A and B are shown apart, each in its own frame.
Chain A
């Protein structure tokens, strides 16, 4: 194995909706560095996997479902090699994984409620029968070191719903996926339901994208409220990536203060916010 690629710097930030407790946040995010290996072309590769999910406020157990989806999405990407080349198989794997873990969770949850003397009530039953719903967005950021020592960074992403990936260069948005128009946000995004077993339909709705990063570039994963902020032109402000980087580096508390300030100014809708930042270190 040649030189090991250096994985990008990464950071996960979450801010619950104003008026909600941290444990009531129904967004989830997960970042996982994979083990390095050698690919078919003899290059040493290492991947960073990340996923965000936004649980639908009108569904029951949306937070736990989102938590499972980000973990399962990362696991499915990890275990399925070039997963984007066979989307049907990848989606099938993800749905089997999340379906199994969800069934186990539901069994535990109902037993736990009964044990605590709080059995499921009439107003929860319809929601449990309907299932939990969430968006899911996953990305694999693959670093490869060629024999010449040249390093390249490629990203492969899939998305269902309105959680978005942004490719930033010099702090400016170069591209957004899967939504790049503010009018495409709404309150009825496409969602993965915990009772949905229609792999073909989900595979048809899931979108994939691919891109390449240069040293210094950043990838952001953001749930819809922050994604909409990132897509809103603000010529009076510094480049959004620079602003977020500055805030994020100050830590979660500063980021939360900023989000709350933007909410108060009606610049960010009051919703849970999740941000994952991944930055390829600049050369030198």
Chain B
């Protein structure tokens, strides 16, 4: 598949193609993460002894997503506010900001503030090539904005409603901008009713550039093969996975191209849904300018 559509040919008969609006400091994007913090998230991913908790997988994904976004938007003078970001947790009797530390209690936060205010920065060791064919351990800074939380039910419908109001305000303030992206990370077992209507309502908000994009990461103990950006329900192991797939937006064409360039098989009905696999690469789908790629 061809790589990203030409930036200079994004008009057809005078009409701008959807999902091509500039993302910049003057036209920022909006990223809302919804994080399932229910009791079931304390279950392991699989029955194996070393399997991590679902909540750990999800908080790790959030911390890495925020790290990748910050690195992507970093310039010499600091991180540029190409995005405003919210991390909304939902669990026992609570739907609201899941940021810890200085950002606790805040919803949409400019990315530079996110980058400058992790709750803490851990030092982790990582093996990297030593240049002579071997590996050497090096220390890597790993910022943390949220820790795993598990408690009570899964008010996913309320969480989607919460995102709905954030998105409604955003779209009103940025009517021509790139549409908000909502990424829901969950084990899928909503306890406050079928979230489908709330998801449809959320994805019905739109800017002139297109409708809100709702993506889902399903972390599940149901096993089966991990699935990334499928174009049909076939092969999904249970009703939760199928429901989340149905709720997920179809990937816009340039995102499909990036998914293809990462080795995923895509079609025009490929959706922003991932089952038990890594979703952090989704940051690569966001266009903020010329990419820094090595010659090949």
Contact = CB atoms under 8 A, between A and B. Distances in A.
A149 interface: no
Interface in A189-229: 189-193, 196, 198, 201-202, 205, 228
A148 interface: no
Given A182-B8, A192-B295, A56 B70 contact: no
B39 to A, nearest CB: 33
B11 A266 contact: yes
A51 interface: no
A158 to B, nearest CB: 15
Interface string B59-79: 000000001001110111101
Contacts of B292: 56, 58-59, 62, 127, 130-133, 191, 193
B71 A126 contact: yes
A93 interface: no
A188 interface: yes
Given A19-B24, A127-B74, A270-B24, A188 B121 contact: no
Contact of A186 (B3, B22, B26, B71): B3
A123 B291 contact: no
Given A19-B26, A133-B293, A187-B7, A123 B288 contact: no
Interface in A86-129: 121-127
A57 interface: yes
A54 B121 CA distance: 34
Interface string B73-95: 01111010000000000000000
Given A19-B25, A133-B292, A123 B79 contact: yes
Given A57-B289, A58-B288, A123-B115, A191 B295 contact: yes
Contacts of B295: 160, 190-193, 196, 198, 201-202, 205
Contacts of B4: 186-188
Q: How large is the interface on B (under 10, 10 to 19, 20 to 34, 35 or more residues)?
A: 20 to 34
A266 B11 CA distance: 9
B287 interface: yes
Given A188-B3, A266-B11, A269-B7, A123 B74 contact: yes
B1 interface: no
Contacts of A130: 292
A61 B76 contact: yes
A121 B76 CA distance: 10
Contacts of B11: 266
A59 B71 CA distance: 10
Name which of A19, A61, A187, A196 has the most chain B CB atoms within 10 A of its CB: A187
A132 B291 CA distance: 11
Given A123-B115, A127-B74, A187-B287, A196 B294 contact: yes
B9 interface: yes
A18 interface: yes
Interface in A127-166: 127, 130-133, 160
B136 to A, nearest CB: 14
B188 to A, nearest CB: 32
B8 A232 contact: yes
A57 B292 CA distance: 8
A183 interface: yes
Contacts of A193: 292, 294-295
Contact of B141 (A122, A186, A228): A122
A186 B6 contact: yes
B290 interface: yes
B6 A125 contact: no
B26 A182 contact: no
Given A18-B26, A191-B292, A196-B294, A185 B143 contact: no
Contacts of A17: 24
B70 A123 contact: yes
B288 A183 contact: no
B51 interface: no
A127 B79 CA distance: 12
A187 B121 CA distance: 32
A124 B74 contact: yes
B16 interface: yes
A122 B290 contact: no
Q: 4 tightest A-B contacts by CB? A: A57-B289, A59-B292, A122-B141, A19-B26
Interface of B: 3-4, 6-9, 11, 16, 22, 24-26, 67, 70-72, 74-77, 79, 115, 121, 141, 143, 287-295
Given A17-B24, A133-B293, A196-B295, 7 more contacts: A123-B70, A183-B9, A185-B7, A188-B291, A191-B295, A198-B295, A232-B8
13 contacts: A19-B25, A56-B290, A58-B289, A58-B291, A61-B76, A62-B292, A121-B115, A127-B74, A127-B292, A182-B6, A187-B291, A191-B293, A193-B292
